[in-house]
């Protein structure tokens, strides 16, 4: 049995199928872990959702910001945008409710002990320990299942952008969600910046979350996506695998090994 982590698919169904052919995916033996953003922009988001759901016994998913946006628009209709044709197609599908219920049950963080790895969509806030990150993820995963409408009504917003253990209620929820699904750069005071979306060299006054000097050392490899401008990037015990297929880049899969990451374990189409 082999396990693979796949970067942001974003509705690129045909490319996903090609990637699975490239890694010689065995439906009843291998495992797939998606690091978020299954949907949006690629044109075939409904097909992606249906395929992953159909193979849910072989798949694990961490929620990305686009996945959460889809869920928010489903459970809170006033958030829907008429120009998003992919989401409209999903909402009209006969199996929409089934797919949304399933998507809501997915994770914000996956702790892959066997491979000494953590999988998230955007990253882990630099001041969090591994235990803190796991605890915050589990708390929100439970909260999401308790009251979906309330959860998504309060999800949006860029504040607070500083972490405090004393944060409560919607402020804590929003900060944790933003850290796991939207984080890229931080200010010098460790506040989250949500406007900068380019490469590291484009914003010299900001620091990527994984380069923060005060970052708590986490032994497991952190595998994440979300940052297509960064591309395939392995440093500071973190690995970005969002290689921007939806932006004419590539779709990436990493074969997990107990022995550690090697170039031969990376597949792209």
Average pLDDT over residues 61-75: 98
pLDDT in tens, 76-133: 999 998 889 999 999 999 999 999 999 999 999 999 999 999 999 999 999 999 999 9
Residue 186 has what DSSP assignment? E
pLDDT band at residue 260 using 50, 70 and 90 as cut-offs: confident
CB 2 within 8 A of CB 31: yes
pLDDT in tens, 155-178: 999 999 999 999 999 999 999 999
Is the domain 3-154+216-268 a CATH 3.60.21.10 member?
yes
**pTM, to two decimals:** 0.97
**Residue 228, Cβ neighbours under 10 Å: how many?**
20
pLDDT in tens, 174-204: 999 999 999 999 999 999 999 999 999 999 9
- Which percentage of the chain shows pLDDT scores above 90? 95
pLDDT band at residue 26 using 50, 70 and 90 as cut-offs: very high
Q: Please, which residues have CB within 8 angstroms of residue 106's CB and are 6 or more apart in sequence?
A: 60, 61, 62, 63, 67
CB 40 within 8 A of CB 10: yes
């Amino acid at each position: 049995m082999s396990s693979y982590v796949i970067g942001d698919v974003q509705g690129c169904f045909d490319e996903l199928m090609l990637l699975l052919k490239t890694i010689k995916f065995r439906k009843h033996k291998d495992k797939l872990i998606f690091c978020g953003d299954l949907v949006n922009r690629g044109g075939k988001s409904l097909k992606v959702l249906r395929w992953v759901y159909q193979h849910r016994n072989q798949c694990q998913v961490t929620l990305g910001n686009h996945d959460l946006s889809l869920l928010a628009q489903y459970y809170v209709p006033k958030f829907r945008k008429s120009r998003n044709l992919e989401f409209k197609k999903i909402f009209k599908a006969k199996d929409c409710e089934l797919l949304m219920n399933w998507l809501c049950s997915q994770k914000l963080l996956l702790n892959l002990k066997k491979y000494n790895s953590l999988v998230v969509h955007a990253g882990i806030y630099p001041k969090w320990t591994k235990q803190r990150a796991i605890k915050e993820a589990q708390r929100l995963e439970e909260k999401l299942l308790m009251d979906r409408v309330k959860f998504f009504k309060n999800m949006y917003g860029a504040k607070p952008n500083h972490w405090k253990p004393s944060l409560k209620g919607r402020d804590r929820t929003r900060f944790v969600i933003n850290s796991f699904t939207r984080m890229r750069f931080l200010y010098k005071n460790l506040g989250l910046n949500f406007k900068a979306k380019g490469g590291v060299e484009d914003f010299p006054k900001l620091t990527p979350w994984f380069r923060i000097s005060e970052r708590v050392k986490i032994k497991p490899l952190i595998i994440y996506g979300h940052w297509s401008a960064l591309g395939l990037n392995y440093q500071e015990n973190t690995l970005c695998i969002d290689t921007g297929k939806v932006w004419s880049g590539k779709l990436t899969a990493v074969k997990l090994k107990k022995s550690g990451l090697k170039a031969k374990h990376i597949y792209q189409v």
